[in-house]
Amino acid sequence: MASFDPGWLPLAMGSMPHTEAAAAWNAINASLRAIPFWPQLPRRNSLENMYAQFTERFPGLRYEKGRIHIDRKRDLDSDLERLYLAYLEDDRSYGRIGRDHAEGLGMLLAGEVTLPEEAQAIKGQMTGPISLGLTIVDRNQRPVLYDEVLADAVGKHLRLKAAWQEYELAKHAPQTIVLLEEPYMASFGSAFVSVSREQVISLFEEVFAGLEGLKGVHCCGNTDWSILLSTTADMLSLDAYDYAASFVRYPQEISEFLARGGMIVWGIVPAGIAAESETVESLVDRLLRAIASLVRQGVSEEALMKAGLVSPSCGLGSLTTALSERVLSLTAGVSEEMRRRYVSEPVPEAEAEGEQEEGDGRQ
């Protein structure tokens, strides 16, 4: 596992509501100076929707009226051959993400964005293999995850996407973080998602194998947390505002995850209207109650305090720009307060200044 001290630093998921990448970057760099992330901008372009953004060059894929599907009338064999050849040759260039699919990432790679001097890491993100595999369907609306060949292709396709993204991000910060966003894991075990625990873990590990830096999974709903905790993920990111109660039911698995050096990204800042009434103090109290619940069940408090980061509960793409920026500011404020209490190293000055206002209750 890469050497990295989480130290209750703030980070965030990917989506932002801005239609201009420069404005999104300004908001990110103003609040998340230690771990900035490149913004996904679904309102700018439908190709930046999380279910389309990482599908370039997937075998047989068609875009029609904002929807993606597999065209089985095409010769999938030639497309699959190109994918498997790139995979066998470890050709990460196959996984390139075009600027039309990710303007915010394109700006960073083109040198049009300057990261804060305090940046300790740069975070990227991708749609995970379960969510992508259940979203891409054929003309009969059958998800490709239920097709043995195409399900395998999803894992290999995303592995190359992850490897390319990490390689490019590594040019801009001393540490990289790539999180797989898996909203469909909230439906695992239901009648709507017929995949096995073994298939889920296998697909995650396929993607993780393409990464050398920090890697993890974000799920913004309830799920079987034991599955995610049993993978080789370095970070587990959860909506701790709404689903901490379900997460803390896995104390043994959490203890084992922490023992091997795993980190928990506590999404304690609500990515919605609730953020208008919450304060830094109320959110810190909520976070500490969740941690206390785990400690009462035998999870090491010291280990939890050493392994925590702070984030919004989910992506911010559906919010107003003003509310999204408040969520980022609250995230930085919760981070500052947790670091003040539990980390000896001071937070970057710009974060502290910005969050003093939140602590005073002013907006």
Query: Rounded to whole angstroms, how far apart are CA atoms 186 and 221?
Result: 5
For residue 342, give Cα distances in angstroms to 305, 336, 337: 7, 10, 9
How many Cβ atoms from other residues are within 10 Å of residue 289's Cβ? Answer: 12
Task: Give the pLDDT mean for 324-347.
Answer: 91
Query: Rounded to whole angstroms, how far apart are CA atoms 354 and 231?
Result: 37
* Residues 107-145 pLDDT 10s: 999 999 999 999 999 999 999 999 999 999 988 889 999
Task: Give the pLDDT mean for 247-272.
Answer: 97
Phi, psi torsion values for 235, nearest 5 degrees: -130, 140
Q: Assess if residue 66 is contained within a domain.
A: yes
Question: Residue 67 half-sphere exposure, CB side, CA atoms within 13 Å?
Answer: 9
- Alpha-carbon torsion 187, 191, 196, 202, what sign? negative
Instruction: Identify the residue whose tokens are 């293999």.
Output: 129
Q: Assess if residue 15 is contained within a domain.
A: no
Q: At 58, list the tokens.
A: 């997937």
Q: Assess if residue 171 is contained within a domain.
A: yes
- Whether residue 157 is predicted with pLDDT greater than 80 in this model: the reply is yes
**Across the chain, which distance is largest between two alpha carbons, in Å?**
62
Lowest mean pLDDT among 10-14, 123-127, 182-186, 301-305: 182-186
Query: Rounded to whole angstroms, how far apart are CA atoms 269 and 244?
Result: 12
Query: Rounded to whole angstroms, how far apart are CA atoms 149 and 171?
Result: 34
Instruction: Identify the residue whose tokens are 């790679």.
Output: 109
Q: At 163, list the tokens.
A: 């490897």
Residue ranges of E strands in the chain: 61-64, 67-70, 122-127, 137-138, 176-181, 214-219, 235-238, 263-269, 308-312
How many Cβ atoms from other residues are within 10 Å of residue 241's Cβ? Answer: 24
Q: Assess if residue 291 is contained within a domain.
A: yes
Which residues span the domain enclosing 350?
A: 21-359
Task: Give the pLDDT mean for 37-59.
Answer: 94
Q: Assess if residue 180 is contained within a domain.
A: yes
Confidence of residue 207 (pLDDT cuts 50, 70, 90): very high
Q: Is 51 exposed, middle or buried (0-12, 13-18, 19+ CB in 10 A)?
A: middle
Q: For the domain that residue 228 is a member of, what is the CATH number?
A: 3.20.20
Average pLDDT, the chain: 92
What percent of the chain clears pLDDT 70, i.e. is strictly above it? 93
Number of domains composing the chain: 1
Q: Is 191 exposed, middle or buried (0-12, 13-18, 19+ CB in 10 A)?
A: exposed
| Prediction pTM value | 0.91
Task: Give the pLDDT mean for 53-82.
Answer: 88
285 versus 192: which is more confidently predicted? 285
Task: Give the pLDDT mean for 278-283.
Answer: 98
Q: Assess if residue 229 is contained within a domain.
A: yes
Contacts 24+ apart (CB under 8 A), 349-357: 350/30, 350/33, 350/116, 350/118, 351/10, 351/31, 351/33, 351/34, 354/30, 354/31, 354/329, 355/280, 355/329, 357/329
Per-residue model confidence (pLDDT) at position 354: 42
